[in-house]
Amino acid sequence: MKLYKKEGNILQIISFPTENAEKGDYLLVEDGYAGKALIAQVIDVQFAAVPGVLEELLRTLPDGGEPLQGEDIDPMEIAPHITYIQDASLLICKIRATLENDMLSPSSSWLPSRSQSTIKKLSTPLLIKLAKIEGKLPIILGGTKDSTLLTIDASSLDGTLNIITGKKGCGKSHLSKLLMVSLVGYKATVVIFDLNGEYGNLGVTNDGKRNLYYGKIHVFTPGQNFKVALEQLNLNTVMGILVNALHLPGTSAREFRRLWKSLKERGKLSMQELGEAIRDLNCNQHVRDALASRFHSFVNSGFFTDCLAEATLMDETLMKTKDAGGALVINLKNTSNVDRQIIVEYVLGKLVDSLQNWKLRAVFLFAEEAHLYLRETYWDDIVTRMRHYGIFTTFITNQPDTIQETIYRQADNIFLFNFTNEHDLDVVSRAARVDAETVHSIARDLPPHHCLALGRVVCDFPIVARVRALDIKTMGETRLFFKTVN
């Protein structure tokens, strides 16, 4: 390989057919005289069809520059060179760091010598070692192209905001399951808003046996094993549900607050009493109607109960996970849009409560297709307020434009699967820790189950890995009518 050009932080390198460098590979451009080296990543491979490149090649080929001697000039002798040149490729590489005395710095301001530099491939294990990607809490993400494992450190997910995105069916939920069980393995508390009911079996292996996590996966199915009694709720949570999920206007909200307090004082906080109190409320007709319709939503959701024995003590489960770790799977399958919002509002309220009172240290929240249940103002909340309380969110979506721009700007890690649509790639490129060229060029060619890890988990050295398989009973398969019979 030969250094050809440098423009800003882009290097152009001429590569010969035998050197087969591919997109995503890392190269080490060593300049022996300067005692430094550049670490660059191939982001595109093109034909070296530029006349300048050909000249350069001819001049530097081992014997290409020598004048042909003798009288018998056999034109065929130069043919192999011509083919060689025709097949040479131009590698467009992005400089990721400078290596000096085994230390990495993000600068790309110096120019390596064109004649003296040697260029070789940088193996993934060496890159991982140099960049110190591995840590004390390893999570094996999967295998890289050169058959080594990409292991990230669980602490690089700590306190962070993450995005897992890619086309339908490419393995996003699979990766989030992998991250979840790994975090649970390190005794973390994990909560997932499970839109398709596919996380409930994380504790069971493919052949139906219990695995390591069996006792640590707690599935909450609203209306079945997940109900709350009004007595358990604090007024702020209820107001949150009414105002945010059910859009109760201000005047009615004030009336409700008064009503709630009076019922509470009299020890009559139950659905039945609340229903009667609203019916008998002596106030403006509109206010009464507004309250009555919200009360009906409460009843219809099947999420509220007057029977204390039936009520779920989410706190207890959260406390259990505090020491031993565990995942709370909030099963939102078969719930209507409104019910989903009620439940999410309740769960988030509960989490903030527990974190505020230091009952929990931190929670890793996984949210699948969050735009279907997360209200507008929560997005900003999640990057600011909730993050400070200790809610560290991972958004999973196949529609990247449903995630708000603030989330991209603040995201610490992005796990990017295949996308072919330019618009989708443009959206992802908005992330601060990502550069548009890398995203556009590499993500478009990713095979299924392969992801490009970007951000803190890989110390800002984008690495492609094939996500490893999990021995977990998966339930995320798309339901099909025509099934291939093997």
By CB under 6 A, name the binding residues for ligand ATP: 166, 168-174, 398, 449, 467, 469, 474, 476-477
Residue 202 has φ and ψ, to the nearest 5°, of -60, -20
Angle between helices 337-356 and 314-324 (to 10 degrees): 50
CA atoms within 13 A on the CB side of 230: 18
140, amino acid identity: I
Please, which residue, 207 or 477, has the CB nearer to Mg ion? 477
CA 460 to chain centre: 15
Least distance to Mg ion from the beta carbon of 349, Å? 26
7 binds, among Mg ion, ligand ATP, none (CB under 5 to 8 A by kind): none
Contact positions vs Mg ion (CB under 5 A) = 173
Q: Which of 244, 237, 455 is nearest to 350 (CA)?
A: 237
By beta-carbon proximity to ligand ATP, the closer residue of 303 and 415 is 415
Q: For residues 467 and 165, give the distance between their C-alpha atoms in angstroms, rounded to a whole number.
A: 14
Q: CA–CA separation, 67 vs 389, rounded Å?
A: 73
Integer Rg of the chain from CA: 29
- Nearest distance in Å: CB 192, ligand ATP: 13
If the CB atoms of residues 2 and 177 are measured against ligand ATP, the closer one turns out to be 177
Neighbours of 468 (CB within 10 A): 15
Least Å from the CB of residue 370 to Mg ion: 13
Contact partner, 124, from ligand ATP, Mg ion, none, Cβ < 5-8 Å per class: none
- In the complex, least distance from residue 238 CB atom to ligand ATP, rounded to whole angstroms: 33
The site partner of 479 among ligand ATP, Mg ion, none (C-beta below 5 to 8 Å per kind) is none
- By beta-carbon distance, which residue lies closest to Mg ion? 173
Nearer to ligand ATP, 68 or 469 (CB): 469
Query: Which residues neighbour 229 within 8 Å (Cβ) at sequence distance 6 or greater?
Result: 270, 304, 305, 306, 307, 308, 310, 311
Does an H or E element contain 314, and which?
Answer: helix 314-324
* Residue 143 interacting partner from Mg ion, ligand ATP, none (CB closer than 5 to 8 Å by kind): none
What gap in Å lies between CA 215 and CA 198, rounded to an integer?
Answer: 17
449 touches which of ligand ATP, Mg ion, none (CB within 5 to 8 A by kind)?
ligand ATP
* Interaction partner, residue 465 (Mg ion, ligand ATP, none; CB < 5-8 Å by kind): none
Nearer to ligand ATP, 85 or 327 (CB): 327
Q: To the nearest whole angstrom, how small is the minimum distance from the Cβ of residue 415 to ligand ATP? A: 11
Output phi, psi for 353, to 5 deg: -55, -55
Among ligand ATP, Mg ion, none, what binds residue 467 when CB lies within 5 to 8 Å by partner kind? ligand ATP
Q: What is the C-alpha separation between 381 and 391, in angstroms, rounded?
A: 10
Residue of 16, 175, 163, 13 whose CA lies nearest to 80: 16
- Find the shortest distance in angstroms from Cβ 464 to ligand ATP: 13
Toward Mg ion, which CB reaches closer, 226 or 366?
366
Pick the closer one to Mg ion by CB: 166 or 240. 166
CA distance 96 to 133: 14
Minimum CB distance to ligand ATP smaller for 166 or for 390: 166
Least distance from C-beta 172 to ligand ATP, angstroms?
Answer: 4
358: three-class secondary structure by DSSP: coil
474 makes contact, choosing from Mg ion, ligand ATP, none, with CB < 5 to 8 Å by partner type, with ligand ATP
Minimum gap (Å) between residue 173 Cβ and ligand ATP: 3
Q: Checking DSSP bridges between strand 89-100 and strand 36-47, what pairing results, if any?
A: antiparallel
**Is residue 366 classed as helix, strand or coil in its secondary structure?**
strand
CB of 334 to ligand ATP, least distance (A): 17
Taking the C-alpha atoms of residue 145 and residue 469, their distance in angstroms, rounded to an integer, is 16
The vertex-62 CA angle with 60 and 63, nearest 5°, equals: 100
Cα–Cα distance, 226 to 329 (Å, whole number): 11
Per partner kind, with CB cut-offs from 5 to 8 A, the member of Mg ion, ligand ATP, none near residue 174 is: ligand ATP
Q: CB 444 → ligand ATP: shortest distance, Å? A: 17
Q: How far apart are CA 12 and CA 160, in angstroms?
A: 34
Closest distance between ligand ATP and the C-beta of residue 23, in Å?
Answer: 20
Nearer Cβ to ligand ATP (171/222): 171
* CB-nearer residue toward Mg ion: 144 or 173: 173
Which of Mg ion, ligand ATP, none binds 94 (CB below 5-8 Å, type-dependent)?
none
Considering beta carbons, is residue 130 or 370 the nearer one to ligand ATP?
A: 370
Question: What type of residue is 260?
Answer: W
